[in-house]
Chains A and B, each alone.
Chain A
Amino acid sequence: MNTLFGNFFKKANTGFWPVLIALAFLLIGTFSVYQSPRSLAAFLILMSTPLILYFMKMNMKVKVFIGLMLIVIILPVLGIRNIFYLEVIFQMAVFAALALGLNIVIGMAGLLDLGYVAFYAVGAYSWAIFGSKQLSLLYSVPGAAPADAPFALDPRWFWLFLFLGVGLAAITGILLGLPVLRLKGDYLAIVTLGFGEVIRVLALNLDKPINLTNGPQGITPIQRPPLPPESILQFFRDILEPFVGHVPTDAEFYNVFFYFLALIIIAIAILVATRLEDSRIGRAWTAIREDETAAIAMGIPLVKMKLAAFAAGASFAGAMGALYAANRTFVSPETFSFLQSIGVLTMVILGGLGSIPGVIFGAAAVVLLNIQILQNFSLYLSELRQSDAVIPIINFAWKDLSNQLDPAKYQKLVFGLILILMMIFRPSGLIPAERRKRELVEEKE
């Protein structure tokens, strides 16, 4: 059975076939999402295209072309038609960047960081505090803020804070790392977990003595950077209207805007991660992961390189944090819980520790699972509850099913199962890391 499929795949993976298959998925996917925007199957078909592009043999230029078509044109257009997709893809991008960052720490350097969202929080709160009215509310009780308080900064400062978020997160990473990176691997895991909780509890409670974070209610509204000038928007409105069936609103433009911003950050993150991986620094990280004693005997300064890994990983999260705060116009401590850290860990483990394509895939898969599949399942169950259907044999009426049984809320179960099963059956992930092959000139024999 397996070989049958293998042979089939081999045949399909030669000549023109891969291009045809990729195009078929792209077109059928696009068309079916266009026709039935609510169908999960249609969306899955469309989202398989990148996988086909990754796994099948075809000309690099063709791959890039099809990929860009999907990312730059098709997804935004479909997204404006049904804003939900843009949200899904935005989340995929956010988490892919987080997963890429965590992958540097865990996958490359082998340091289990269980408090990774702390760095995300640092990025998010840095723009949240300065990009909202919070600075003028420092001495007022949460909830009792005067409505006419001014914004502290012009929204265009966001661009600076995108970089500041990177820097602040990196510095936080170094400050945390300095005392704890000497610890053994398993202790490091617990201490980083603790650090993540400390940051969350601080966010929760620093509404006094001065009101820095506005406590559990979180900070809102947070400003967004201004959209491009009206003339450009008008141009896109005219082009897009016939495709999406209505005149795109500013809110929809904002979604596309943030989507592209996230894409740019992802692109940078991928570039930085791949380049670091294939360099003296990346090799030192892998060496540390494989054997600390041998690594240090080769002259690799352990603490310094581990700090570098922490800082690099943290900086990705910092950038995404600032972006996230602006996108949501709202941050609250609950976004930065331990569950989130484990969510990102699950993405990295599922995709493949140390594997850049793997963790991106892992992020996409977990987001999809979380906000598409589980939620659809929840909807389906609640429909069943309202029906008169009965499970045959055991004679159980769906009506009697507890309202508490809402699959969308069972993320922990899903994360937990993925972690256990991957560790037991496939610890290197679904798309395992591969080492770069070099051309060996002397291979003449």
Chain B
Amino acid sequence: MKSITENPVYKFLLFPIGQILIFALGASVVLSLVTVLLAFIFKFNVTDFDLVERTMLILPQVVINGVTIGFVYATIALGYTMVYGVLEFINFSHSEIFMVGGIVGIQLMAYFEHIGTLATMNEYLVIALAIILAMVVSGSLAVVVERLAYKPLRGAPKLVPLISAIGMSFFLQDIVRLILSLTTGEFNVILPKFGTFDEFWKLAVPGMEDPLRIQIKSAIMVGVAVLMLVGLNYLVNGTKVGKAIRAVAQDRPSASLMGINVNQIISITFLVGGTLGGAAGVLFALKATKLDPFSGFFPGLKAFTSAVLGGIGNLTGALLGGLVLGLLESFAASYLGIFTNGAFGAEYKDIFAFAILILVLIFRPSGLLGQTVGQKA
């Protein structure tokens, strides 16, 4: 008789989704409590309005924003963490793989707009098509990049492939810019207006005056990201390929001796990471509505921070790290200004992630969940 934990529906669907829910809820609740506590403390410095009331007023929205962007970071972070788990290598150009996904997605929508079908198509179909195309393009690009710029450097001192990856990141930024400039004469790409996903769902919450407003696209972002996470969990823990990936991550020479084609597995790792990055790119584009070839840089760094925060090499860690970072950032952007009475504000949001990265690396370099290279998720 199989125990419930062996049941595939539980193992690959209920358990991961439950885990995601718990992480999202847990992180939100903990951070909210801390913030409210801070509000009570800072209340004594701020005299001209009621800090606590103001904090509570925007809290739900801040949490929703944080969770939404957190899922995007988590999806990108998986790419960093998988490659690090297998190769112990920071794939610096992953942020550009992500950016390419976003731009390809927007360009597809722009193409539908151009041929005049965008308005008549089902908006969810459009988004789905954009995501699929972005996944294909980003995934292939990641594989090509690995072949060209990293594979020749395997076995070299650690900093050598890292420098190559930094070079690749810059190279890709400008190549995308070049291609966009030559084809469209412009290198900013703007999400065309279509569908209703900019609108809000209003949820009446008992005990609150205003209804909770959830933007439809936030729901799409979270939904797709959860789908990706569940899919990846199945791939890594439920399939032969996943087993091979874990084996290579744990002990490459032995895996090779056991007849695993290590080069192929490394390519697949990049493919999977790139695919997730591409999907995340489209999700990010829905929110940002405007991208350029340099838009990958900061989200990429934040996703890397998420990976380290959760424990690099650890898939569950990337999820938790992404959520925590997204929430922290959202809280910082909204409350830093309020709490310091305007002295510091949302402009410090971007370096907030670095501060966290440095603190984590100094005090807990193995991350929240620990580095479990090889025995992921």
A and B touch in the complex (CB under 8 A): yes
**What does the 1/0 interface line of A415-431 toward B look like (CB < 8 Å)?**
11111100110010000
List chain A residues, Cβ under 8 A from B158.
185-186
Asked if A379 is at the interface of the complex by the 8 Å CB criterion, the answer is no
Q: What is the minimal beta-carbon distance from B377 to any residue of chain A, in angstroms?
A: 22
Q: What is the minimal beta-carbon distance from B104 to any residue of chain A, in angstroms?
A: 19
Q: Given that A201-B351, A413-B175 are known contacts, is A114 also in contact with B166, CB under 8 Å in the complex?
A: yes
Asked if A187 is at the interface of the complex by the 8 Å CB criterion, the answer is yes
List chain A residues, Cβ under 8 A from B172.
416
Asked if A21 is at the interface of the complex by the 8 Å CB criterion, the answer is no
Asked if B167 is at the interface of the complex by the 8 Å CB criterion, the answer is yes
**What does the 1/0 interface line of A154-198 toward B look like (CB < 8 Å)?**
000000000000000000000000011011011101110111011
Contact B167 A180 (CB under 8 A): no
Known: A338-B297, A420-B171. 16 other contacts (CB 8 A): A179-B358, A180-B361, A185-B162, A187-B308, A189-B162, A195-B354, A198-B355, A402-B181, A404-B187, A412-B170, A416-B170, A418-B167, A419-B163, A420-B148, A423-B161, A427-B160
How many angstroms between the C-alpha atoms of A410 and B173 in the bound complex? 10
How many angstroms between the C-alpha atoms of A167 and B362 in the bound complex? 26
List chain B residues, Cβ under 8 A from A415.
167, 170
Q: Given that A179-B358, A416-B168 are known contacts, is A410 also in contact with B163, CB under 8 Å in the complex?
A: no
Contact of A419 among B89, B164, B347 (CB under 8 A): B164
List chain B residues, Cβ under 8 A from A205.
344, 347-348
How many angstroms between the C-alpha atoms of A75 and B173 in the bound complex? 37
Asked if B185 is at the interface of the complex by the 8 Å CB criterion, the answer is yes
Contact A424 B354 (CB under 8 A): no
Contact A423 B90 (CB under 8 A): no
List chain A residues, Cβ under 8 A from B181.
402, 404-405
Q: List residues of chain B with CB under 8 Å of any chain A CB.
A: 89-90, 148-149, 152-153, 156, 158-164, 166-175, 177-178, 181-182, 185-187, 297, 301, 304, 308, 342-344, 347-348, 350-351, 353-355, 357-358, 361-362, 365
Contact A423 B365 (CB under 8 A): no
How many angstroms between the C-alpha atoms of A185 and B351 in the bound complex? 21
- Of all A-B residue pairs in the complex, the 4 with the closest CB atoms, nearest first, are A419-B167, A416-B171, A194-B354, A416-B170
List chain B residues, Cβ under 8 A from A349.
163
How many angstroms between the C-alpha atoms of A416 and B354 in the bound complex? 24
**Interface set, chain A 206-241, CB cutoff 8 A to B:** 208-209
Contact B167 A416 (CB under 8 A): yes
Asked if A403 is at the interface of the complex by the 8 Å CB criterion, the answer is yes
Q: What is the minimal beta-carbon distance from A353 to any residue of chain B, in angstroms?
A: 9
Contact A413 B170 (CB under 8 A): yes
Most-contacted residue by chain B among A180, A411, A423 (CB, 10 A): A423
Contact B163 A345 (CB under 8 A): yes
List chain A residues, Cβ under 8 A from B187.
404
List chain B residues, Cβ under 8 A from A114.
166
Most-contacted residue by chain A among B149, B301, B361, B365 (CB, 10 A): B361
Complex: chain B residue closest to A111, CB-CB = B159
Contact B167 A417 (CB under 8 A): yes
List chain B residues, Cβ under 8 A from A282.
none
How many angstroms between the C-alpha atoms of A403 and B186 in the bound complex? 9
List chain A residues, Cβ under 8 A from B185.
402-404
How many angstroms between the C-alpha atoms of A418 and B167 in the bound complex? 7
Asked if A266 is at the interface of the complex by the 8 Å CB criterion, the answer is no
Asked if A295 is at the interface of the complex by the 8 Å CB criterion, the answer is no
List chain A residues, Cβ under 8 A from B355.
198
Contact A423 B178 (CB under 8 A): no
Asked if A56 is at the interface of the complex by the 8 Å CB criterion, the answer is no
How many angstroms between the C-alpha atoms of A415 and B355 in the bound complex? 28
Contact of B153 among A204, A413, A418, A423 (CB under 8 A): A423
Contact B159 A186 (CB under 8 A): yes
**What does the 1/0 interface line of A95-129 toward B look like (CB < 8 Å)?**
00000000000000010101000000000000000
List chain B residues, Cβ under 8 A from A179.
358, 362
Q: What is the minimal beta-carbon distance from B367 to any residue of chain A, in angstroms?
A: 12
Contact A416 B361 (CB under 8 A): no
How many angstroms between the C-alpha atoms of A233 and B187 in the bound complex? 50
Q: What is the minimal beta-carbon distance from A131 to any residue of chain B, in angstroms?
A: 26
Most-contacted residue by chain B among A190, A198, A410 (CB, 10 A): A190
Most-contacted residue by chain A among B148, B163, B164 (CB, 10 A): B163
Asked if A308 is at the interface of the complex by the 8 Å CB criterion, the answer is no
Contact of B162 among A182, A186, A197, A338 (CB under 8 A): A186
**What are 25 A-B pairs at a CB distance below 8 A?**
A112-B162, A114-B166, A183-B361, A187-B365, A189-B90, A190-B357, A193-B301, A194-B357, A201-B351, A205-B348, A349-B163, A402-B182, A404-B182, A404-B186, A404-B187, A405-B178, A413-B174, A413-B178, A416-B168, A419-B166, A419-B170, A420-B171, A423-B156, A424-B153, A427-B156
Asked if A359 is at the interface of the complex by the 8 Å CB criterion, the answer is no
Asked if A342 is at the interface of the complex by the 8 Å CB criterion, the answer is yes
How many angstroms between the C-alpha atoms of A193 and B298 in the bound complex? 12
Complex: chain A residue closest to B145, CB-CB = A420
Complex: chain A residue closest to B358, CB-CB = A191
How many angstroms between the C-alpha atoms of A411 and B4 in the bound complex? 58
Q: What is the minimal beta-carbon distance from A340 to any residue of chain B, in angstroms?
A: 12
Q: Given that A415-B167, A419-B163, A420-B168 are known contacts, is A186 also in contact with B90, CB under 8 Å in the complex?
A: yes
Contact B171 A208 (CB under 8 A): no
**What does the 1/0 interface line of A387-412 toward B look like (CB < 8 Å)?**
00000000000000011110000111
How many angstroms between the C-alpha atoms of A404 and B362 in the bound complex? 44
Q: What is the minimal beta-carbon distance from A52 to any residue of chain B, in angstroms?
A: 30
Complex: chain A residue closest to B170, CB-CB = A416
Q: Given that A185-B158, A420-B149, A423-B163 are known contacts, is A413 also in contact with B358, CB under 8 Å in the complex?
A: no
Q: What is the minimal beta-carbon distance from A199 to any residue of chain B, in angstroms?
A: 9
Contact A197 B354 (CB under 8 A): yes
Q: What is the minimal beta-carbon distance from A205 to any residue of chain B, in angstroms?
A: 5
How many angstroms between the C-alpha atoms of A51 and B353 in the bound complex? 45
Q: What is the minimal beta-carbon distance from A112 to any residue of chain B, in angstroms?
A: 5
How many angstroms between the C-alpha atoms of A193 and B358 in the bound complex? 11
Q: What is the minimal beta-carbon distance from B155 to any residue of chain A, in angstroms?
A: 12
Q: Given that A424-B149, A424-B152 are known contacts, is A112 also in contact with B163, CB under 8 Å in the complex?
A: yes
How many angstroms between the C-alpha atoms of A54 and B174 in the bound complex? 35
How many angstroms between the C-alpha atoms of A209 and B90 in the bound complex? 37
How many angstroms between the C-alpha atoms of A427 and B157 in the bound complex? 11
**What does the 1/0 interface line of A340-352 toward B look like (CB < 8 Å)?**
0010010001000
How many angstroms between the C-alpha atoms of A186 and B175 in the bound complex? 26
Q: Given that A201-B351, A424-B152 are known contacts, is A190 also in contact with B90, CB under 8 Å in the complex?
A: yes
